[in-house]
Amino acid sequence: MDSMQILDKINTIVVSEGDYCIFNCDEGKSFFGKDKDNNAVFILPSYSVNTPSITQETKSLKFALNRRCTFLLNGSVEIRILHLLTCKEQESEKLLAFIRLTRAFSVSDAEKDQYFLAKLFSSISALFEKKIQVSEMELQGLFAELYAIMHFMKLGCDIGRNWQSMNKMKFDFSISEKKRIEVKSTLKQIRSHHFKHEQLLSELYDIKIVSMLLRKNDYGISLGDMIKMIREHYQDNYPLLIHIESLVFHIDQEQLNVTKYDEVFLKENIKYFDAKDVPHFNEKTPDGVYNAEYDCTLDSIPSISECDMLDWIGGYQDV
């Protein structure tokens, strides 16, 4: 059952008995439903029923740990101690985000840690309450990173689980303890990208660059298209989904679809480079100097073949 199907089923519920009417999801790992106030609820069974009950509430959400509940399930009224997250928002997009994130949480290993529910509540609350401004360049960068994830997936490499856990981290992907990937994109006709000095001069990491040339086209693919693909393929990846939502949650869907990129051109112009070959200053950053950044042109340096890039990542399979 995907997020849209869960929402459709929630919308059909009328609570007539007990505090909640719920249904089973993902083979009993979690439950969704409605409360008597017509709010959507996400429910997990409690494995520590003797832990004191805790309740927290914001404008959009309510969290209850170890709450004794009366609910209707499969036509029978039951009483059980449960953990609940209640979404007081009624907008479809916000409800879908709530369902996507709670469902991803429920099928991950995180649900074994009951106290992690408090972190889930905190993360979704921040998402609902805190509005952030995202620039056009940040949206372009997000498109490139999501495109890289789907591009490598089609080639047999899953780097989605290696994506940065939050924005503004030094590298986009951490493949292993030593291996890092940085994704760059540009609308320029030359392959010129902006780098932090530490992304190019590091004795700690083996860094590869994924470079994309983009061209706008009315019949191309948009950031909205990429987000839809990622949500479908990574329904169980809570860190990845919460990171995407934290960037685009308050952006109108039309804005995510307004800019489209020519995928034929993109496929022909995606290249891979070793960071040590990218033109850069060879000196280490002097003491007292930080956040050094500059533009570099990659047109004159050797690129890495796609097969070599896949071998470097590891996990390459013929597909």
**Which structure tokens are listed for 268?**
């022909």
Mean pLDDT computed over 26-34: 83
pLDDT digits (tens, 9 = 90+) for 90-137: 999 899 999 999 988 887 755 555 566 777 888 888 888 777 777 889
Mean pLDDT computed over 196-220: 91
| Residue 22 predicted with pLDDT over 80 | yes
pLDDT digits (tens, 9 = 90+) for 31-47: 999 999 999 999 988 88
**How high is the pLDDT of residue 318?**
38
Could you tell me the CA-to-CA distances from 23 to 13, 71, 72, 319 in Å, in that order? 10, 10, 9, 38
pLDDT digits (tens, 9 = 90+) for 176-198: 999 999 999 999 999 999 998 88
Q: Of 267, 183, 259, whose CA–CA distance to 221 is shortest?
A: 259
**How high is the pLDDT of residue 252?**
81
Tokens 């860094």 belong to residue: 207
Angle at 31 between CA 129 and CA 92, to 5 degrees: 40
pLDDT digits (tens, 9 = 90+) for 238-270: 888 988 988 888 888 888 999 999 999 999 999
Is the pTM value of this prediction over 0.95?
A: no
**How high is the pLDDT of residue 115?**
60
Question: What single-letter amino acid sits at 271?
Answer: K
Question: What single-letter amino acid sits at 251?
Answer: I
**How high is the pLDDT of residue 164?**
84
End-to-end CA distance of the chain: 27
**How high is the pLDDT of residue 25?**
85
